[in-house]
Amino acid sequence: MNKTFVMLNIALIFVSLLTVFADQLAYAVPTFVGKGGISDSGGAITPSLPTGIQSGDVLILVVETANQPITITNDGSAGPWTQLTSSPQGTGTAAQADATRITVWYATYGGSGTTGPRLSDSGNHQIAEVFAFRNVDPDNPIGVNIGSIESTADTSASIPGATTTKADSLVVAIMGTALPDANGSTQYSGQSNPDLSDITEIEDITRNSGNGGGISVTTGIKTTIGSYGPTSVTTAVNTEKAMISLALSPKISVAPTLSVSQPDGVGDTISVGDSYTITYTLSDPDDVVTASFYYDINNSGLDGTAISGTCATAVEGSDVTCTWDTTGMSLGNYYVYGITNDGTNPSVSAYSTGQITITVPSTTRLYFSASTTPSVNPNFDSWGYTAEAGRYALLSAKGVSGESLVLGTRIGPSATGVTQLDRQYVSEPMNAGQVFTSGNTFLKAQLQCREFNNGDNTRSGLSVRIVSQDGTTTRATLLTIDNYGLATGEFRNNNVLRNAAYADGDTVTASYTTVSGDRLVVEIGYTDNAGSTVEGQCRYGAPTGTDLPEDETTTISTNVPWVEFSNTITFRTGPDQGSEIPQDTSTGTKTQRRPPQISGIGLYSITSSNSENSYSKIIQDDSNQQLRFEYFFPYSINSDLTDQKNYGEYFGYDKYGGYIPFSKRSDAVLYSTKINEPTQIQVRIDDEYASTKIEHVSLFIVGNGQKSESYSVELIFDKGKTIQIKDPQNFIKDVKVNDFLEDVSYWVNFDLVFQKEIRLSDILIETWHEGRNPAYALFIGSIKAIENMTPPISNTTLLTAKIEITHDTSSPICKASNTCFVPNNVTILKNGIVTWHNPDSFIHDITSGTPNNPDNRFDLHVMPGETKQKSFNTPGIYKYFCSLHPWATGSITVVDSQQNTIKEYDETKPPIIIASVTPKGSVMIEQNQDVIKNTKDMKVEISGNIQEGSSNSVTITIIRPDGTSDDLRVLTNDRGYYFIPTNLNKKWLEGDYVIITKYNDVEIGQIKFTVKQNE
C-alpha cells in the first residue's frame, strides 16, 4: 500500500475528529470580576485581593513605581505570582519626578485565603492594585503580552497592540504615568481602539505618595484571531508613560448534554390537575447548567409552552426529576422537551421519547365555602331543626379569593332523635349529561367537627340532592338525611376539632342525568346516637392548602374539608349554545336574576412622549424593560389597539395610571388629570350568567363644591347605540367609547378630554343586563381635572423605581451625604418593581431591615456591573442596607391605590421568630444557624407579628431536608402577634430546614437553619 496515501488518510481522520470535537466546544469570553482597591505608600505594601473571587479566577497585579525595581516578598493567598515577559517597562531617572515604571504579575486564585501579595519597598513610592478575571484558560492564561514607553511628556498615549491566537480574547491595556503628583480618579479619558469591542475603563487612579504617579487600566474584546492595534488614551496632564498590553485567553467550554427519559409513553396517563414527575439527565463538565422544560403537541420545532415551578430552572444530575403541575391543562397527548442554559454555550435541546396523556379526572372533589353565598335558595331538606342553618356556595376549586378556614355555628342542643341542619351548600350550574348512577356513583366527605357534652352523642348527618337551576325543583335525591360516616363515629367532646367521615364510599340511591343548569345541593348536619342533648360544630372554608385525610383521628386545624363524587362533574361557564334566559311562566317575561357585578375601574392619563416611537401602556426603566399594566392588575388589553388608533398615529404617547377594585363603596386614591389631554376610564363588569348579555353602562362624574354648587357629567352607553352625553356645564369636549369581551369580563372604555377644570369628584357606575336589574358602584373622591400637572398621576407614584449603588457606597463618606443608594428613598405603587444597579467595582447586597435588626424579608447580592430586581406586593415602608458596608442604608415606600396612609414597619416586631425547645427552655434560632440537639426531638416554637392590629390568619410553611413540606395556619391576636408550638417532623431528621411565614399570600418572613445531633 502507498505510504503517502496511508498518512494522508490518518491526517484526514484526525482533522475530522478535531472538527467533531470542536462542534462540542465554545469559548467563554473572559470577564472582569472586580478589583481589590488601590494600595500606595513610600514603603512596603500589601495590596488587597478583590472580593467575590472564585477558585480558578486569574489575578493581575499592576504596580507603578518611580522607575525603581520592586519585588514580591510573599505570595499571600494567590501565589505563585509570575511576572509577564514584557514586564517591567520604565522611563526617566529613577526616583525623579519624571520617572515611572509599570510592573505586572499574574496568578491563579486557588479558592481559599484573602491575603494579597507583599511587595518590597522600591524607594520613592509604590502604587499597586489587584484585578480579577473569570473564564480564562487555566493552561495558558496570557495569550500574548507586549510593552512600550513614551519618554516625552505629553497628553496622548498609545498602548501597543499585539496578535491574538484565540478568538474572544480579552485585551487588558495597562499604563503607568509619572504625573500628576496628586490624589484623583479622573485623569485618563478617551480610551479607544477600533479593533476591540466593549471598550471599558476599569481603573483611573493617581496618588501623591513620594513623587506621585498613576495607573490606567482599560479592557476590550478581540472577537477574532489576529492583530489588534494600539489603544489610545488621553491624560489630563503632560506626563511620561510606561505601558503594557496583554490578551487573556478564553476558557474552552464543553457543551452540556441533556436527555429526557420520562415521559416515555408507558403508563404516562394522568388526570388534569395531577402532578407529573419529569425524569431527565443533565450534565456540564465545566459550567453550571440548568434546563427549562416545555410541553408540546409534537416532538419537533421547540415551539411548545413553558412549564413553571421547578421545571423552569431544573438543575443538573443523572436521572433527576422535576414536578409539573398540570392544573388548567387542556386534555390531550403531549411530548416534553428541555432547553439548556450554561451561560456560555449555545443551548442544547432534547425531546422525550414518548408522550404523556392528560385526561379528565375520574373523581370530582368539591369544597365548602365559608364566605360565598349561592345565587339561588333551594328549600331545606326535611331536617328536624333548621333554625340556625345557613346557605353557602359549593366550590369546584380551592383558593378562591377571600376564603379561609372558620368555625361554623354551634348548632343545638336539640332533643334525642331530632336531626339538625348546619349548612346547605349549593353548586354552580352543571353542564347537561352529568350521570349519577345508583349503585355505581359513590360519595366521600371529610370535615372536622366536635360535640360539647358527654351526653350529646353527636354524629354526622348528610343529605345530597340535585335541583333545577333556579333551585325551586328537586330533580333527584341522591342521599336522604342520615349518618353515612362510621357507625360508631361520634364527635369528639373537646375544644380541638377532629376528623369526621360524613361519607366513606356510600353509593347514591337514585339515578339521574342532568339537564343544563341543574345544581348539586349538599347539606351538612348532625344526627345522634341516643344523645340526650345533641349539639355539634364543624369547621368550613376552601383556602389553598392540604385536604383533610380520610380518617376520624386527624386534628390538624389547617387542612381543608371536602366532598368527593366518584364520577366526573363539569360545571357550566356560560349559557349553552342556543339556550334561552329562564322564563317566568306566570307572566311570560324573563325572570329577574342577579345584576352584573362592577368589579372595578381603571383610571389612566395619556400624554405625548418625546420618543420617536409610540408607546402604549408602558412604564419603562433605564434598561428598556417594559412593565405592562396587566402584569400587576386587571387591565383591558384591547385598549392598546384603540390607543394606537386614537393617539399613536399623531404623536408618541405614554400611558400612566392604575386599577381600583370595587367593594360596596370604594374610597379611591385621588387621580388627577390635565385638561386638554386624554383621560381613559376603563370599567370592568362581570356577570354570573354571561357577560355578553350586558346591555347598558353609564358613567357619572359627580362633583360637590363648597357653596352647595354641584355639577355632574353623565355618559350613557347602550350596546349598539350612539353614546349619549349629558354635560350642561361643558366640562368635556371629546368622548369616545369602546367595549370588549376579554376572557369572562366585559370592559367598557371611555376616552374623554376635559376642557376646563373640575373639582374633586366622585365616579358613579351604573350597569344592567337584559333583565334591566341595575347595579351601582360609587368611587369616592376619585378624579379631578386641573390646568397644570406633572406628571399625570397621583403623587408622581409609578410602578417602578431605579436605584444606583454608587461608587461611594464602599466608603463611609456616602452616609453623610445620603449618596450610598441614589435615590436614598423611593416610593412605588403596590405590585411595583425596584431595580438596583451596581456600577461599583465591589460586591454589594440589599438586605432588608437595619444593620442592628435585619428582618429576613429579602436579601439580594449584586455583583459589579450587575442589576437585580424585586417586586413589592404589600404596602408599607421597607428599610434595607448593605451588610458588607453597613453604613449604606435606604428605604422603599410602597403605597396602595386604595390608601394614602402608610404605616412604617416596626422593627421591634419581627415577622418571624423561631425558637428551639430544650429541657432548659427555648433558645432562639438565628438565620443560617446550626441547631445542635442533645436529644432527638424536633420541637420548635414559631411566632411573629404581621404589623397589623387585628385578628388575621397566617400561613406557616415548613420545608424539610427530604423535600416534604407542611402548611400550618394560625390566627393572630388583636395586636397582630401569632404563636404556635410544633414539631419540625414526626421523627428525627437532620439537615437543612426552611420556615416561611405568609400573610395574605405574601411572604413576610423566612428563616433557614440546619438541625444536627450533638455528637
Q: For residue range 776-787, what is the model confidence (pLDDT) as tens digits? A: 887 777 787 776
C-alpha cell at 408: 361554623
pLDDT of 711 higher than 70:
no
The confidence band for 789, taking pLDDT boundaries of 50, 70 and 90, is very low
578 vs 603: which has the higher pLDDT = 603
For 267-281, the pLDDT digits (tens) are 888 877 778 999 999
Tell which residue, 682, 893, 902, has the closest CA to residue 798: 893
Architecture of the 597-610+634-786 domain: Sandwich (2.60)
> Over the chain, what is the mean pLDDT?
83
List of residues 6+ apart from 864 with CB closer than 8 A: 32, 33, 34, 52, 838, 839, 840, 841, 842, 843
pLDDT of 125 higher than 90:
yes
For 486-518, the pLDDT digits (tens) are 656 788 888 889 999 999 889 999 999 888 889
Domain range list for the chain: 31-248, 257-359, 364-565, 597-610+634-786, 800-895, 912-1013
The span from the CA of 985 to the CA of 975, in Å, is: 30
C-alpha cell at 177: 504615568
For 186-195, the pLDDT digits (tens) are 999 999 999 9
* CATH code matching the domain that covers 257-359, chosen among 2.160.10.10, 2.60.40.2470, 3.40.1080.10, 2.60.40.10: 2.60.40.10
Region 924-952 average pLDDT: 78
The confidence band for 25, taking pLDDT boundaries of 50, 70 and 90, is low
Q: Identify the H or E element spanning 10.
A: helix 3-23
Q: What does the longest C-alpha to C-alpha distance in the chain come to?
A: 115
Per-residue pLDDT, 612: 42
The confidence band for 683, taking pLDDT boundaries of 50, 70 and 90, is very high
Name the superfamily (CATH) of residues 912-1013: Macroglobulin (MG2) domain (2.60.40.1930)
Looking at CATH, the fold of the domain delimited by 364-565 is given as: Jelly Rolls (2.60.120)
C-alpha cell at 751: 376616552
Domains 597-610+634-786 and 800-895 share a fold: yes
For 5-18, the pLDDT digits (tens) are 434 343 343 334 33
Please name the residue ranges forming H helices in 616-754: 639-643
Burial per residue of 827-858, b for 16 or more beta-carbon CB atoms within 10 angstroms, e otherwise: bbbbbbbbbbbbebbbbbbbbbbbeeebbbbe
Tell which residue, 743, 689, 741, has the closest CA to residue 719: 741
DSSP 811-869: STHHHHHT-SEESSEEEEEEEEEEEEE--SSS-EEEEEEETTEEEEEEEEEE-TT-EEE
Looking at CATH, the fold of the domain delimited by 800-895 is given as: Immunoglobulin-like (2.60.40)
Strands of 249-389 (E only): list them.
251-254, 257-262, 269-271, 275-283, 290-296, 305-306, 314-315, 317-325, 332-341, 349-351, 356-359, 364-368
Per-residue pLDDT, 19: 37
pLDDT of 625 higher than 60:
no
Strand partners, 836: 803, 868
